[in-house]
């Protein structure tokens, strides 16, 4: 398998913001327009070890991951990636672990990795306490030393998404985290572009082009080592419940971080994460 690792000049992402001009060509792009998942770009993750007390198993199945057009993808430009959580009581993983829910996770590890630049995705989410969709980037080394950048996370509250960094000395309940609240009348159920400009000195997180959170190297180094000079791969996933959702919604039953209303939403096959496109540029 050919591994694409792209190194980009550290100031490229910053200079792109300094004036008008043509958009740079992408070094990675998927608009999910072919009607099927492009496995030259994406690995589909199957649950082995689980983390964060999440309540789903990830599976490689059209039950949870599809690409196409239809009523659910209205507003997408050329079709969309659809990650759909399902209720499957007693589902067993290959290791014999039992879960009552299944969902999907894609990673570009070993197929596309990059250092510096701008990554963006156009995403539409479902509101439901404990649904935990995310668009993020991660290094291939040991966590948290390898560095994690969370470009979009949500735990079911329709009014906000958050950004976060995890690295040595600032992982888990990281101090480098910020929520952005949608403008009046907007929420997670609309299409939004979530992006991150990454240079050697700063990370700038945006929603629909507006800067929402800026983290400099100096800010990071107050807490630990800057872990953002190594190649990262992309991840898009829909987790269910677990430690972070529970920390927000305080729900312990019937599942950790998942109230009955969200269980019913999942059982009705209405818990979705939609991705119109994902792009990385210099």
Pair of tokens at residue 146 = 């390898």
Mean pLDDT by 10 residues, the chain (282 residues): 48 41 88 97 92 96 97 95 98 94 98 98 98 98 97 97 98 97 93 98 98 98 98 98 97 98 98 98 94
b (16+ CB within 10 A) / e for 65-95? bbbbeeebbeebeebbbbbbbbbbeebebee
Secondary structure, 3-state, 139-190: ECCCCCCCCEEEEEECCCCCCEEEEEEECCCCCCCCCCEEEEECCCCCCCCC
pLDDT, tens digit, 9 for 90 and up, residues 59-72: 999 999 999 999 99
pTM score: 0.92
Q: Which domains does the chain have, with CATH numbers?
A: 28-281 (2.60.120.200)
b (16+ CB within 10 A) / e for 202-214? bbbbbbbeeebbe
What are the DSSP calls for 43-64, one per residue?
A: EEP--SS--TT--EEE--STTT
**Separation of alpha carbons 175 and 243, rounded Å:** 17
pLDDT of res. 12: 38
Using CA atoms, how far residue 187 sits from 56, 150, 154, 182, in Å, is 25, 19, 11, 6
pLDDT of res. 22: 75
In a 13 Å sphere around the CA of 223, the CA atoms on its Cβ side amount to 22
Going by their DSSP bridges, the two strands 56-58 and 98-103 should be labelled as parallel
Using CA atoms, how far residue 50 sits from 55, 103, 146, 208, 256, in Å, is 9, 13, 19, 32, 14
What are the DSSP calls for 112-134, one per residue?
A: -EEESEEEEEEEEE---TTEEEE
Plot region of 202 (φ>0 → left; ψ -120 to 50 → alpha; else → beta): beta
């Amino acid at each position: 398998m050919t591994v694409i690792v792209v190194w980009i000049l550290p100031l490229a992402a910053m200079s792109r913001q300094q004036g008008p001009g043509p958009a740079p060509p992408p070094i990675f792009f998927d608009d999910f327009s072919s009607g099927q998942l492009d496995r030259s770009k994406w690995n589909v993750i199957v649950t082995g070890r689980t983390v964060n007390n999440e309540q789903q198993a990830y599976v490689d199945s059209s039950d949870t991951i599809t690409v196409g057009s239809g009523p659910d993808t209205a507003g997408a430009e050329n079709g969309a990636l659809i990650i759909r959580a399902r209720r499957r009581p007693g589902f067993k993983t290959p290791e014999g672990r039992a879960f009552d829910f299944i969902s999907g996770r894609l990673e570009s590890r070993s197929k596309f990795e990059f250092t510096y630049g701008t990554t963006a995705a156009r995403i539409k989410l479902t509101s439901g306490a404990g649904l935990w969709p995310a668009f993020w980037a991660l290094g291939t080394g040991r966590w948290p030393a390898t560095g994690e950048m969370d470009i979009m996370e949500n735990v079911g509250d329709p009014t906000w998404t958050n950004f976060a960094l995890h690295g040595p000395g600032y992982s888990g309940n990281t101090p480098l985290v910020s929520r952005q609240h949608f403008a009046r009348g907007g929420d997670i159920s609309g299409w939004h572009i979530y992006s991150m400009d990454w240079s050697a000195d700063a990370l700038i997180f945006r929603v629909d082009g507006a800067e929402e959170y800026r983290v400099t190297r100096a800010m990071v180094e107050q807490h630990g080592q800057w872990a953002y000079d190594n190649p990262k791969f992309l991840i898009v996933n829909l987790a269910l419940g677990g430690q972070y959702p529970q920390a927000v919604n305080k729900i312990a039953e019937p599942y950790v971080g998942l109230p009955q209303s969200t269980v019913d939403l999942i059982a009705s096959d209405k818990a979705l994460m939609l991705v119109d496109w994902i792009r990385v540029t210099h």
